[in-house]
Structures are given as C-alpha cells and as structure tokens.
Structure 1
C-alpha cells in the first residue's frame, strides 16, 4: 500500500489549519444556552455590582470611629436602633443595604446583646465587612472578551448584571458522510459475511457535537465516485466535511480523488499510526477531513485534525489536553517516522498498553483511558518509563 507522499503529522496539521477560516456569523442566545460557546463581541457591564453598599456579614452596622478602643476585655457599648448616629448601631444581614451614615459592619460573633444594648468587643476600620458599590463589577468594565469560551461562572456574572441574551459565534455545521460497500445501517437487518454495522459516522457525529459543531449525519454512500461527489455537492451549505472510509490506495478508495477533483487535496498519507491513510482537503473553502475506515485510525484522525479545525471554525480557543503522568507497565513498540498513538489503561499510577497494533480493534479505545503519543524520532518506549497519558475524556 503506497502513497505518493507521506506528510509529517505536525506539518499536515499546520498546513490544514492554515487553510481553515473561522466563521464570521453569530447568533443571539439566552445566556442559559451559552455554556461552552464563544463570545462574538466584548460584553461590557451596564451597571455596578453591587449597585448599593451591602453588608458582607451578619452583624451590626456602625460608624467605625465609634468602635475606637474596643477590645476583648473592654467592650464599647452601643444602643441598637433603626438609624445610625453616634453610639447607635443597626442590625444587618449578609447582602442587606448598609444604613446611611454607617461605614462598617461588626460581625455577630464579636458582639453580645442585652436589654437593647450591644457590647462590641473589637475595633474595626472603615469598610470592614462592607461590599462597596462596584466592588464586584464596575459599570463600563469589559466582562467577557471576544473569542472567550463561556463557562457557567461567566454566565452567573452576566446574570448578576441583568443581561439575558448575548451574541455568540455560530456553530459550524458538519456534514458527515460514511462510505463503503460493506456498511450496513444499524438495526436494519442481520449482518452477512463481509458486512459491518456503520459506526464511524455515529462516532464522528458525537465528537463533532462535543467539540462545538452541529453534526449532519448522512446515509451510507457506496464506493462510487459519482455518488460520493453527489453527497458532497448536496451539502455544500455545511461548513466542514468529515468523510469516513475510502481513503487508502485500494481499488475502491475513491474519496481522496473526489476531493481533489472538486477542490484542493492538501494531504493524502500522514505520518501517524494508526491513521496513515488520512486525507485532508478544501472544497469551496470548506475543510474536509477524510478519516480512514478502521475505527481506531479514524479516532486518531478526528482527534488530530477534526477537533482543532472545528474549534478554529467556531472561534473557540484551543484547549490544552488533559494529561496525567504514569509509568509504563510494558514496552510499547513504534515506527520511526510516524507519530504513534498508543492506547493505554490507567491503573494505580501505571499505564497498561491495550492492543498497540490493530487499527480496527474499536473496543480497545472503549477500554482505554487515553493515548500515549510517541514522537516520530523515537523507536518505542520501554517498560518502566514515565509517560504522559492524554485522556480521551
């Protein structure tokens, strides 16, 4: 099985992502629906938070100067009242307004009440236990920056400002085209010899949604270049294509040729293992990831190419991988010239390799906690080596 050229994994990613252009559209959404989305423009505070001086603790509002000399053995005695004046304090609760004339709050634990009098056993300074106007957010402050990924805590801040709707970057529409004569729709009938249920399209759809896209999973397309071309042509409203299967150099592997005939085939053959038959291209300005039909190779292609492309399309900042350190329980072989993605299971600080060969063994990914990525210039890793495991979830 030969390719005209095998492109280095990092070079292939760089070439592909340089051709991906972020979407310019946006949509107005209720803030409750914006978790994980990207801000389309800066959000500015229209009010101060808090917009009034508030008590930060339960206790008594006072003039701080009136507590001068108070101590654990020499309390200052106040009268409890409704208005602040010299020697008079007002009871407050956390979050309630600080009465006019007060500039501090003495916490309940530092007081003793009796017969309408309040003994205060600590000297405090102005603004002690008081949330000043704008302490949290100042009117005019930029709260969220364009391109920032929105988290639940950010949504809470927006809610505190009385903001109900914001503009977010549009989600990329991803057309997913499973190809192959051997594929059968799940649940339609029992399999014959040589047939398999279609899984790659489903997997690509779920990952596309997880990574910020809107998947459109199409029906299975047979290994026919005209039908593959028609499936692409009928979905040119999509922002990205993921095509599964038909990417190698066999008699029925038509996908790279179709992509090249309709646009620009950037890469066919990548130095990743598994995943060498991956092809990448651009059609009508839309990125196309052609993932191998073997499931594990397909997952690697999705992770290495589709995920960053989707995030760039959706104006989402690329997030660092979740990584844990572990010790290899046994040797992992690899080929120089290929970035190898080895599946491992974690157990008490050890990384246990799972089916390190066999790109069609899908269950090995389900059993795995993550991948160990072995660089191109290294020929395998030895048992006992410390490695970084990139978590699948």
Structure 2
C-alpha cells in the first residue's frame, strides 16, 4: 500500500523546502559561441580590445574637415574636390561602417550633398565627430562586459563575438533522469495500432523530458519501470549520478503506488501531498543530495508539478537567473469555480479581449493543456472568480 497523505503542504512551503535542499552545480565547460545561447556564464568577461577598433562612418556620405564646411547651407553651399585623401579643400566618399580617413573629423550625410563630376557640393555645416563612431564607442578595452552568472541571449553572444571570442566558459547543464513507472504503460517503440484496454502509451516521460530540455536541463529518458518497489529502487540507484531525478507515476495511495515509500526508504521524503489542483499526489524528496520529484500519473497533474517544482529546481541547479513570466490582465468570459485550500490550475483560451475556462479541465485530459492559450492560478483562499472579473493569465509557453 502506498503512503497515505498525512498532511497537505501548501505550494509555497513545498517549493521552499525543496529549493533550500538544492545546491547549484559548480562544474563548468567551455563551449562555442554558436551553442551558448541559453547557458549561464561561469566567468566574468572583460574586453581585451576596443569596439570599434577604428573610427567608422555612421552614415553614407563624404568624409570632410569640419573647417571646410563652415557656413555651408542649401543656399550657400561649399564646393570640395573629390579625392582619395582628405586635406584642405578635399573630400572622400565613405559608406556606413567604413574607416574614416586620416585628416577627416566628420562625415556629411549624402542627403546634404550634390555631386557634379569630381566636385561635391556640401549643403550643411557639420561639427567635429558628426556621423563618426569613435574608437571604443561601443566597448573600451578593459570594460567588464558580463559578470559570472549572466544568462546568455543571442544579442549577448553577438557582443562576445565582437570581442573576437570563439568560446566561453559556462556552467554545466543539469542532467535529469526521467523514470516513467507503471504496469499499464506501453513503450511507444513497442506500440500496437491500439493498446489493449487498461494499457496506455507512455507519454508523461516524453513530455517531462522535453520540458527538461526546454528549461535548460539534459534529459535522460529511461525505459518504463514496473510498479514494483524493488524495480523502482534499482532504477533510482542506477541514476544517482544525475543532478535530479523525476519519477512519473505511482504517487497516490493505491496498492500499486510505491514512489514516495521508495524515496523515503532511500533518502528523505520532504513532502507528499501538495495543496494544488490538479497535482495533489505530488511528492518531493532528497536522495544522496539529489532532488527527486515524484509526478502524479495523470498527465495534467504531472504537468502542474513540472511547472511548479521541476522548472524552479532546474533553474537553481543551473544557476539560471529568475526571469519574470509575462502576465496578461484579462477579464473572464465565464466564471471559474475552484476548491478552497488548493491552488487551482485552470486552463483558459483567448476569446477576443477575454479568456474562457476550458471545459473538461480534469487532470486526466491532457488536451485541455494542448488546446489552452494560458492558465489562471486561483489562490488557495479564493473560491473561484466571477464572470467579468479581471484575472492574471500566464501563457502556457
């Protein structure tokens, strides 16, 4: 018999207990710039060069000496000789990004000029540095570019490339072992046209693995383990080299639910039974300093645990900075009912400038997530929301 829920822990308390037992990975690796988006820097980056390293034209036009443009205007243009170099009375064509020749201290935009043969008519006065990017204008040698712990985005990678870097040191991604359990599961590799009654294709492990990858981890997607305590124990022990373990299924209180008991026997069961709907049977534990998340077998309940516990767990393991989720303010097209004492995860779809809760919101119906645009979290002390009320909507992706 599986362990009976002795108490229900709030989502916030469960997450606090879980995260305070997780240590950030300190192992690092050097990787190419082409593969470092979404990784976390394991070193502070200082610039060893100026960017740009030369004076460059900021506009298409003519490089000139400022003194040669004094008083120039459309009604009083100045005529300069076109030349390969800039000196008194001469000008040189430059395109955007080109080096500004010696002797020139400004660029006149092409829009303020008229050419005639080997002469250019300057129709605007410029001042020193006009339309010229100076050496080190973007980055100066010795500047601190990014600190250790910076989360790398594509625009950041472009900055690193401008410094002449090819590789950077980053923290290792956490390896997450995903162990699907259940006598009723059939591997997709062994699937038949339609499984026999009482059997289902294994999809929760696949979903968990893909979310692990999306959130910055490396999934180790294992074969199905039967509902047997010894089998589950062996699967866990074989993966204690991972940084996190996810057990999918076997978290409730039935005769075939052994996940929480095995975790308790091998390590410490922190929480079993969480105040979230769907997702109450979720369990959290620690085995040999490795965080373990036990997901309910019902798909939506499992997904809720992935969002609430696996994602923040991966972020702490990988030292990924907290990035606020985009929240939309929308009014309800119909009311939302919820259970007091639980955080309710309610899937919604956009309907014009409103949102409508999806029907068939049970924890067995995964399509209620696939069809949803977002979700509303109803706090544990709130008994739903009325039609027309404004709510916070979190995007599914």
- What band does the TM-score fall into relative to the shorter chain? over 0.9
Task: Verify: 1:331 aligned to 2:353, yes or no.
Answer: no
Could you tell me how far 1:187 is from its partner in structure 2? 4.8
Could you tell me how far 1:323 is from its partner in structure 2? 2.2
Task: Verify: 1:250 aligned to 2:254, yes or no.
Answer: yes
Figure out how many residues of one structure are paired with residues of the other and give that number: 393
Contact residue 40 and residue 169 of structure 1 kept, 8 A: yes
Structure 2 CA distance for aligned equivalents of residues 4 and 145 of structure 1: 46
Aligned to 2:234: 230
Q: Say which SS state the counterpart of residue 4 (structure 1) adopts.
A: coil
Aligned to 1:128: 130
Task: Verify: 1:351 aligned to 2:382, yes or no.
Answer: no
Q: Say which SS state the counterpart of residue 306 (structure 1) adopts.
A: helix
Q: Say which SS state the counterpart of residue 102 (structure 1) adopts.
A: coil
2:114 counterpart (112, 115, 134)? 112
Aligned to 2:72: 70
Task: Verify: 1:87 aligned to 2:89, yes or no.
Answer: yes
Aligned to 1:33: 35
Structure 2 CA distance for aligned equivalents of residues 121 and 391 of structure 1: 54
Aligned to 2:18: 16
Aligned to 1:306: 310
Q: Relative to structure 2, which stretch is displaced further, 246-255 or 266-275?
A: 246-255
Aligned to 2:150: 148
TM-score normalised per structure 1: 0.97
Q: Say which SS state the counterpart of residue 188 (structure 2) adopts.
A: coil
Contact residue 255 and residue 290 of structure 1 kept, 8 A: yes
Contact residue 342 and residue 356 of structure 1 kept, 8 A: no
The Cα RMSD (Å) is 1.3
1:290 counterpart (276, 291, 294)? 294
Contact residue 239 and residue 286 of structure 1 kept, 8 A: yes
| 4+ residue runs over 6 A deviation | none
2:280 counterpart (276, 290, 293)? 276
Task: Verify: 1:388 aligned to 2:392, yes or no.
Answer: yes
1:340 counterpart (344, 359, 362)? 344
Task: Verify: 1:174 aligned to 2:195, yes or no.
Answer: no
Task: Verify: 1:240 aligned to 2:244, yes or no.
Answer: yes
Structure 2 CA distance for aligned equivalents of residues 151 and 10 of structure 1: 30
Distance 1:115 1:191, change over 3 A: closer
TM-score normalised per structure 2: 0.96
Could you tell me how far 1:263 is from its partner in structure 2? 1.0
Contact residue 347 and residue 361 of structure 2 kept, 8 A: no
**Mapping of residues 372-383 of structure 1, within 5 Å:** 372-383=376-387
Structure 2 CA distance for aligned equivalents of residues 195 and 113 of structure 1: 81
Q: Which runs of 5+ in 2 are unaligned?
A: none
Structure 2 CA distance for aligned equivalents of residues 102 and 280 of structure 1: 68
1:59 counterpart (33, 58, 61)? 61
Deviation per CA, 1:208-250: give whole Å up to 9, x if none.
0000011011111111111101000011111000111111122
